[in-house]
Amino acid sequence: MPFAFPRRLLLPIASLLLAACATGGGFPPEVPATARTSDAPGAALDGNAVFARTLAAHGGDLRLHPGDINLSTDGRWYALIQRIQPLVSDSGYRIRSEERYRPADGLYVVDHDGPQGRKRVVRSADGLSIAYNGRANEDAARRSATAMTNDAFRMFHFGPSWFIGRVGEWKRLDDVAEGGRSYRRIAGVAVPGFGDAERDDLVLWIDRETDRLYRIHMSLNGFATTRGAHVDTTFLDYREVGGYLFPVRFHERVRGPLRIDAHTWRVTGLDMDRGWTSTDVSGDAYTGTAAPAAKALDAVASP
């Protein structure tokens, strides 16, 4: 199902869609590589080996970390994506955030803040809850959009460990070059996908020199008006904290059915292992050791 557009935007968007269709191909457009990767003779890596290398480069399986991780973020949404996907961008609230994550039990709490106030999202073993300015919201469409974006941002912020247990096999694609650097690419299917999606397609771009994740190209099957769409997010900078490598600067683009910039953001603060409890993050506001903003990072340029 294609994007759903407001009536006043149908003509300008139609021209963009025609241009996008002219480029051809669905997601992913590539076929698995055979012998056209650029590994050294006798040292070719299959897709699973490439993923194992990038997981190690990021510090290993973050799900096994026994403590907590705390982030502050700031960013901006581009105008067109706000108009065509208002529930997904939710830009009245999702500009800055304070995020609290406990990998051991998957508890992930995000306080978003924007010009219309605060949005709190709590993801736990019990499910997903949403509140706007302190009032619970159970609208089905908002829940579906939030479930998808919440999953995606946990993946963006906390790295390759999100894929473990979801992607059964990684297939190697042809390597590509961009900006003077070379990237290995691997393709997989996440089951379940983002939010309510049964599955989502993925292509990871991985820097050949550093084994760092550079870009994620993904489908968005978890929300009615994004099915059939695909986006990519590029990781432009990293910081090492507590033995793990965290991306701290991001640029997200819609790649189909049209091609537009969507969102840029950066991590402005990051710290670990405060020892907050579930009670500290379960009310209307953070309390106890969860309350202070994440420790400011050294300068991270705006994307």
| Nearest residue to 57 via CA among 200, 180, 160 | 160
Mean pLDDT computed over 110-119 = 97
Mean pLDDT computed over 56-72 = 96
- Does position 3 have pLDDT exceeding 50, yes or no? no
- Does position 261 have pLDDT exceeding 80, yes or no? yes
Domains and CATH numbers, the chain: 7-29+51-276 (2.50.20.10)
Say how many Å lie between the first and final Cα of the chain, rounded.
31
CA separation for the pair 7, 104 (Å, rounded): 46
**pTM of the complete model:** 0.87
- In the prediction, which pLDDT does 228 show? 87
Give per-residue pLDDT as tens, 160-171. Answer: 999 999 999 999
- In the prediction, which pLDDT does 47 show? 94
CA separation for the pair 294, 292 (Å, rounded): 6
Give per-residue pLDDT as tens, 127-163. Answer: 999 999 999 999 999 999 999 999 999 999 999 999 9
Quote the mean pLDDT of the chain: 88
- Does position 21 have pLDDT exceeding 80, yes or no? no
Confidence of residue 24 (pLDDT cuts 50, 70, 90): very low
- In the prediction, which pLDDT does 26 show? 59
Distance (Å) of CA 59 to CA 167, 240, 245, 303: 19, 9, 6, 24
Confidence of residue 22 (pLDDT cuts 50, 70, 90): very low
- In the prediction, which pLDDT does 243 show? 94
